[in-house]
Amino acid sequence: MQLTIHQVDAFTNELFKGNYAAVIDLDNWLDNELMLNIGAENNVSETAFTCRQADGSYAIRWFSPLMEIDFCGHATLAAAFVLCEQHNLSQIRFQAAAVGELVINKNSDGSFAMTFPKQTPFVAIKIPSELFAGLSIQPVKVLKNKQAYFAIYESEQDILNLKTDSNLLKTLAPLDVVATAPSAKYDFISRYFWPANGGDEDYVTGSIHTGLAPYWAKELGKTWLSAYQASSRGGHLYCEVAEHTVTVTGHAVRYMQGTIYL
């Protein structure tokens, strides 16, 4: 069996920036163990598998090097980039078990606007001591949603200077950790740590902005926000917050297309 694989840098229009994802479009689903093994072999933060449905939408599943993931924004962007290019489409509808329908529109400037369910964080009542111990700088506030703990800081320099203990943060599973602060150049910046589910630090994380954007929209009194994920590769996102959804917009660029032999 031969499968075509694409590697795409998402949330950037420059190669070697943003977050890379692998995309494999299937005629029929592979065995779960095989998809897990492919995700581990690719060793990118996510491999997205897509499969066209009878109604014209695409089912999508995401695999980190360690496990299947409920929801991944940057690999969704990468998959939309590949499918729109292959089939000359300007809109993709994805179906995902954990988050339902995701509508992706290709804009005239080549960017992709992805409408996701809003996942607003709430104040964490009981905060594990391992969270504080795992962060070199203590946050002023901690919130959480079903994906992560949100460590809120007052200064973007704290985000840039922050160091983490992955062994301690790993004990917070299944939740990850996002650190965030207001920014002078952007509305807010963040960094995302997920040692329990994929790796020490993710480069750019589209899914967490469904929680970050609603929080900062309320704090800043605006619904359209510019965001930057301050990893070593970095990525720029635009977020629009509505009543029930967050639209996350970004660019993508192809790095590689090849063949997997199984």
* 174 cis-preceded (ω within 30 degrees of 0): yes
- Active-site residue 101, yes or no? no
Q: Are 131 and 169 in contact (CB under 8 A)?
A: yes
- Name every residue whose Cβ is closer than 8 Å to that of residue 187 and which is 6 or more positions away in sequence: 216, 220, 222, 225, 226, 227
What type of residue sits at position 164?
T
Main-chain phi, psi angles of 207, to 5 degrees: -60, -40
What are the two backbone dihedrals, phi and then psi, of residue 96, each rounded to the nearest 5 degrees?
Answer: -130, 140
Q: Kindly list the distances between the CA atom of residue 109 and the CA atoms of 16, 77, 156, 180, 224, in Å, as whole numbers in the listed order.
A: 21, 15, 30, 29, 18
31 DSSP assignment? P
- The residues, any chain, with a CB within 8 Å of residue 157's CB and separated by 6 or more, are none
How far is the C-alpha of 137 from the C-alpha of 246, rounded, in Å? Answer: 29
Q: Where are the alpha helices (DSSP H) in 96-196?
A: 129-133, 156-161, 166-169
> How far is residue 111's CA from residue 113's CA, in Å, rounded to a whole number?
7
Measured CA to CA, the distance from residue 145 to residue 43 in angstroms comes to 27
Active-site hit among 14, 33, 41, 46: 46
Q: 64: phi > 0 → left, psi -120 to 50 → alpha, else beta; which?
A: beta
Catalytic positions are 46
